[in-house]
Every structure is written in C-alpha cells, then in structure tokens.
C-alpha cells in the first residue's frame, strides 16, 4: 500500500468513477490507474469499487468505509507538510481563500490589501464561486479558508464560524415611487418585478422565507450571482433589486438609491469555514483574525482538531 494508491482511490471518487479523468487529474495513464486499484484491492483482500463489466459504477460497502480512512490519511499527510512549513518559514507560503462575489468585491479588498502589505511573503490566491463550489474547494483541500453566507454551516466536514452580520437592502432608481413610502412592506415589493440573487447565494433563503410567511409570491424576473449584475438591470428599469446592503455605495451608485430592508428579511451572517482537521499555518489564523477579531487562534484550533 502506498500514498499514490490512496490518491487514486480518492480521485476516482472525485471524478465520478471515470478512470480517464482520474488519470488526467493525477497525470498518469488510465492503465496505471487500473493497475494501482487492482493491486490495492488484491493487497487488502476486498473489492473497493462496484463494477459493471470493466466500468466502475460506485463504491462497495467496504469501499465506502475505506474512503473515510483514505481521506483522513491523505489529510494528515498534507498536514505533516504544513507543520514542517510552519516551522521552517513562519511567514512564507501560500494561502487560498474561496468566497462569493459579494465578499470578494465589497468586504475583502481592504482586508486583503492590509494582509498582503503586512505579510508580503505569503502568496494569496482568491477564488470566487457559489457557496456549493466553495464547500467543494474546502473539502478537496484546494482552499484553506471559505467565506459565504449560505451552505457552509450545513456540511459536517466543515467547521464554520460567524464572521459578520449584514442585512438586505432594496435598490431602486432615484425616481422610484418606493422612495416616497415611509416604511416599505412586502406587499409594496410584490407590486414590482424583483431582481435578486440566485437561490444558492447571499441570504436568498431569508428573502424567500419572508415572502412565503406573508403568503406572497414575488415576481422575480431575473436572478444573478452578484450584486453588480443586479444593480445593472435595476438601472435599466427592469425591476427593483434585493441585495446585500454592503453592495451599495452612494459614491459609485449615483443613479440608484438604497432602502433598508432588515425589517423585512432579518439579519444574515457571513461565515468563515475551514475543513475539519485541516492544518492551518499561522498566517491563515492571522487572516481570519482580521475578518473576525473574536476568533482567536487557540479557539479555532480547539474546534478544527476536536
């Protein structure tokens, strides 16, 4: 048994049991993948994968249990390298942050700028994606830190912490009739076409829940993955926007106005997440602390390695 065989098992599952794609991901031939799996199964004396002819179609019961161990072993092997790097060069290395457009565009710029000025020897990579994609990057080890509002708290293999609280706002053109309303209601909003986030993004579940609870059906005409797109179509007069209030800037959005909507949709919490058991370098805790000062390194370590 060797690490390459374990990597083949893990990657085969990631590639939906497609050995050609597994070979591409591991930079080896399909025949080399098949040979590695066969040798491991022969050594263990059990079948790891279910087969239909020569094609892999899933994991056996033994394979499902074995995959959990494989993932732990490979995670610990990666952690060994991170521990060594931690003590050989405390402020040198790589940090990968995965987040949504809203966080990357409106929350993180100042944090990242200060971090890169203070820790110049760390190479920071920023990946944008949906909350589901962020979770997958964390689980695969391709990202160290994830930041999003949706999804991250629901995945058992991730540890997540509240980062900051925010509320939705209603974006309208400067001459919109809603600006004359003292306190906007859901009934008021239901009279206009609505442009808001895709269902998997940025507190959209709170918006849907509020309308359902009021027995109202909003006329959602466009959904998008980031607030800039939403504001563009609001500016074209195609509807009113429901976005994170953080995405509105009076200086930039001069043709638009923001109506606070916390009383309609409640509060939302952006969350920071890391993979359970994933070893973080000191500068990763430094980065997290800049976003959420109450999250100390010692408290985070206790949760991550519990």
Encode pLDDT of 91-128 as tens digits.
678 899 999 998 999 999 999 999 999 999 999 999 99
Q: Which two tokens stand for residue 22?
A: 């597994």
**Three-class DSSP category at 221:** strand
Check if the beta carbon of residue 119 is closer than 8 Å to that of residue 286: yes
Q: Is 187 exposed, middle or buried (0-12, 13-18, 19+ CB in 10 A)?
A: exposed
What was the pLDDT predicted at 248? 95
Query: Which residues share a beta bridge with 107?
Result: none
What's residue 95's pLDDT? 94
Residue pair 184/242 in contact by the 8 Å Cβ criterion: no
Question: Six-digit token pair at 160?
Answer: 């997540």
- State the chain's mean pLDDT as an integer: 89
Q: Which residues, in sequence order, are bridge partners of residue 259? A: 170
- Virtual CA dihedral for 195, 128, 80, 72, nearest 10 degrees? 40
The tokens for 81 are: 């390298």
* Per-residue confidence (pLDDT) for residue 191, from 0 to 100: 95
Nearest to 13 by CA among 52, 53, 54, 66: 66
Residue pLDDT, tens place only, 200-240: 887 899 999 999 999 999 999 999 988 999 999 999 999 99
Task: Could you list the beta-strand ranges (E) of the chain.
Answer: 49-52, 55-59, 93-99, 122-128, 145-148, 158-173, 193-197, 219-224, 240-244, 256-260, 267-275
| Position 79 confidence tier, pLDDT thresholds 50, 70, 90 | low
pLDDT (mean) for 172-198: 96
């Amino acid at each position: 048994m060797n690490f390459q065989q374990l990597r083949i098992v893990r990657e085969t599952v990631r590639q939906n049991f497609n050995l050609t794609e597994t070979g591409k991901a591991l930079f080896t031939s399909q025949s080399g993948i098949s040979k590695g799996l066969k040798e491991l199964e022969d050594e263990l004396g059990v079948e790891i994968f279910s087969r239909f002819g020569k094609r892999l179609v899933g994991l056996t019961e033994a394979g499902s249990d074995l995959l959990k161990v494989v993932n732990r072993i490979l995670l610990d092997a990666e952690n060994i390298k991170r521990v060594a790097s931690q003590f050989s060069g405390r402020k040198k290395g790589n940090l990968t942050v995965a987040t949504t457009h809203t966080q990357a565009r409106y929350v993180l710029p100042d944090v990242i700028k200060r971090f890169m000025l203070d820790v110049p020897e760390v190479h920071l990579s920023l990946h944008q994606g949906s909350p589901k994609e962020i979770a997958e990057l964390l689980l695969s080890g391709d990202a160290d830190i994830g930041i999003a509002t949706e999804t991250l708290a629901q995945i058992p293999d991730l540890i997540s912490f509240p980062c900051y609280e925010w509320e939705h706002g209603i974006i309208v053109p400067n001459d919109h009739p809603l600006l004359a309303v003292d306190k906007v209601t859901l009934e008021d909003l239901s009279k206009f076409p609505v442009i808001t986030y895709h269902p998997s993004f940025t507190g959209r579940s709170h918006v849907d829940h509020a309308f359902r609870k009021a027995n109202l059906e909003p006329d959602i005409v466009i959904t998008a993955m980031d607030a800039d797109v939403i504001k563009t179509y609001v500016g074209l007069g195609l509807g009113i926007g429901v976005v994170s209030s953080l995405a509105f800037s009076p200086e930039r959005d001069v043709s638009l106005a923001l109506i606070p909507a916390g009383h309609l949709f409640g509060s939302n919490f952006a969350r920071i997440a890391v993979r359970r058991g994933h070893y973080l370098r000191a500068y990763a805790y430094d980065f997290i602390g800049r976003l959420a000062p109450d999250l100390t390194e010692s408290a985070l370590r206790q949760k991550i390695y519990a």
